[in-house]
Amino acid sequence: MSISVSAVSVRFDADQMWVSLDDGRVLGVPLAWFPRLRDASPEVREAVSISPAGLHWEALDEDISIAGLLSGTGDLTQARPHAA
């Protein structure tokens, strides 16, 4: 049986995103993992929608799953090197 964990709040400091979970844990995630969030204004960062599956920023077209954060997964949309 899997246990579902959801975010209850999100806050930011200069270089981290802090995600509070409904089980009491708080995840500190480097903004460097998510360049669109890192480069966004504070107002855009604060406009997050929290759902059972994760976090969404409409203005950035950014979706971050709680499962991904718990596994240590950063932004998977970054460009990969092209084959020669």
How many Cα atoms are found within 13 Å in the side-chain-facing hemisphere of 26? 8
What pLDDT tens digit does each residue of the chain (84 aa) get? 456 899 999 999 999 999 999 999 999 999 999 999 999 999 999 999 999 889 999 999 999 999 999 988 766 555 444 444
pTM for the predicted model, two decimal places: 0.82
